[in-house]
Amino acid sequence: MPALLSATSARLNRFFIFVKFPYECLVLYGGLLLFTVAFSAWSTVAMLIYPLVPRTVRTRFGQTMAMRMFGGYIAVLKASGIFKFDLTALDTLRGDGAMIIAPNHPSLLDAVMIGSRLPRITCIMKAEIQDNFILGGGARLAGYIRDTPPLAMIRSAVASLRAGNQVLMFPEGTRTRQQNRYDFKGGYALIAKTAGVPVQTVFIETNSLFLSKGWPLLKKPAFPLIYRVRLGHRFEVGSKVKAAVAEMESYHHGGLASPTAVRMSPHAPDPRPQRDR
């Protein structure tokens, strides 16, 4: 009997190993295809809606639809069993007022994760992303803001905050270039000071370099992928913007080095070219 059980267990293990790789590929590349198709379709609809409704109505509707689209995508990935998300900490921000939400930026999924939980988010996004057909129509309908030119971006962000929205802005200005190195720009703090709103720090933790700076879009990572979001301290920006930025950058360094943080996998290869470091 023990020999039979052992042989059965060995056969099951071989079966799971056999199906694991194609299943992971199906989830990864099927998920990318789903994102492309779903968001392209919504972008087309959003472009048609945009000129037909008043600005305040379309912005609120666009934000709600963005949250639902992002939330649906995260739910599909989570249902696969090889993507694991803990984003519940963000739910406490729903009832709060206008603020800058300032996370670290380890991957391309960051804005999707945050946008999936918060209904009144305005994203500051790179101009080339907003001009992209897949995301552009939905982004414009939701009132998302281009990061150039800088003065126009600052004015638009301040106006959005004064309208009661929460502005998502990555202080690094791009995805994190090197683990445990976070070089903050000052624009988000200047916007917070001008609008008179606080800055809510957010820690996004992951066990993988998947979709980090320099990661090829179609490169398969080691699964499972784990993502967790923690809320940090909420800062008030005083008259000295540079000092506030330095304080928050130091705080991020300490928070991401916390013993409770999800650790980057020591086995994950770093695909980023040397010039990005």
Going by pLDDT thresholds of 50, 70 and 90, the confidence category of residue 260 is low
Residue 231 belongs to domain spanning: 2-265
Q: What is the mean pLDDT of the chain?
A: 87
What is the Cβ-side half-sphere exposure of residue 255, based on CA atoms within 13 angstroms? 20
Domain-embedded: residue 271: no
pLDDT at 62 over 90: yes
pLDDT at 12 over 80: no
- Within 10 angstroms of residue 119's Cβ, the number of other Cβ atoms is 14
Q: Which residues neighbour 94 within 8 Å (Cβ) at sequence distance 6 or greater? A: 117, 118, 119
Query: What is the C-alpha to C-alpha distance for residues 239 and 87, in angstroms, rounded to an integer?
Result: 33
Domain-embedded: residue 261: yes
Query: What is the C-alpha to C-alpha distance for residues 101 and 123, in angstroms, rounded to an integer?
Result: 10
Query: What is the C-alpha to C-alpha distance for residues 60 and 253, in angstroms, rounded to an integer?
Result: 35
Query: What is the C-alpha to C-alpha distance for residues 166 and 82, in angstroms, rounded to an integer?
Result: 31
Residue 129: per-residue pLDDT: 86
Domain-embedded: residue 19: yes
Domain-embedded: residue 17: yes
Domain-embedded: residue 276: no
Domain count, the chain: 1
pLDDT at 275 over 70: no
User: What percent of the chain has a predicted confidence (pLDDT) above 70?
Assistant: 84
35 is written with which tokens?
């994102």
pLDDT at 119 over 50: yes
* Mean pLDDT computed over 71-92: 97
pTM: 0.86
Query: What is the C-alpha to C-alpha distance for residues 208 and 107, in angstroms, rounded to an integer?
Result: 9
Domain-embedded: residue 200: yes
Give the DSSP per-residue string, 214-228: T--TT---PSPEEEE
Domain-embedded: residue 41: yes
Domain-embedded: residue 275: no
What are residue 106's phi and psi, to 5 degrees? Answer: -80, -20
pLDDT at 266 over 80: no
